[in-house]
Amino acid sequence: MRLILTRPREESEALGRLLEARGHSVLIEPMLRIEALPDAELDLDGVAALLLTSANGARILAGRTARRDLPVLAVGDATARAARDAGFETVASADGDVVALAALVRRRLRPADGVLLHVAGSAVAGDLAGDLAGDGYQVRRAVLYRSARAERLSPGCRAALAAGEIDGVVFFSPRSAAGFANLLRREELVDCCRGIDLYGLSQAVARAAGDLPWRRQQIAEMPQQDALLALL
């Protein structure tokens, strides 16, 4: 199959290598561009553990501090892998979403252990701090990066869609799915979806782009990359 990958470029390139090894061809069309916020405050005093909800957060955090001793609790395996690659010594994966991450915190840590620092972007999914606050945890958020939306489709993507060369579009987040859907409407390419499958990480992704006339909507059984890849 020929697939459009909509994750930020670094994640799409890594995913593309996996898919190409399985015999697929990919077209990378990031819907979000990740931008570090160099002046953002990062205070690690009194922090008992780091909560990471994206691989971008792991990489950007690693560029802001030389400390690698703090335990990391990551939302999923890709984020945990990025933290380990950056040199963090103690890393655990919730293997799911922010609800699973909150459950992992409850299993591994006590409120009395200290402040938990959620390294995040300017846009976050779910309410991790609010979920944990009900059990007495103190969660502080450090916004270290932001994501900028794509303003147009690339000429190569437009041409491939118009020529009917795309079999599927892969979405990991509702924000990317909504952005892609909006660009299809703006560029009058909605009808191209009739011959294309939507591959989504969650039902929230399907809701974000599900009103387009996709040939099929295929949603991962669990919000995990391996579950999504199993659909392909």
127 and 137 Cβ atoms separated by less than 8 Å: no
35-147 CATH: 3.40.50.10090
CA distance 72 to 88: 7
Question: One digit per residue, pLDDT tens: the chain, 232 residues?
Answer: 999 999 999 889 989 999 999 999 999 999 999 899 988 999 999 999 999 998 899 999 999 999 999 999 999 888 999 999 999 999 999 988 889 999 999 999 999 999 999 999 887 666 888 889 989 999 999 999 998 899 999 999 999 999 999 999 999 989 899 999 999 999 999 999 999 999 999 899 989 997 899 999 999 998 888 899 999 9
Distance CA 14, CA 34 (A): 15
55 contacts 81 by C-beta, under 8 angstroms = yes
Domain range summary for the chain, segments of one domain joined by +:
2-31+151-229, 35-147
Provide long-range contacts, Cβ within 8 A and 24+ apart, for 15-24.
15/170, 15/225, 18/229, 19/229, 19/232, 22/229, 22/232, 24/232
| Residues 2-31+151-229, CATH architecture | 3-Layer(aba) Sandwich (3.40)
Lookup: tokens for 66: 């030389």
Overall pTM > 0.85:
no
CA dist 173 → 31, 176, 199, 202 (Å): 10, 5, 11, 8
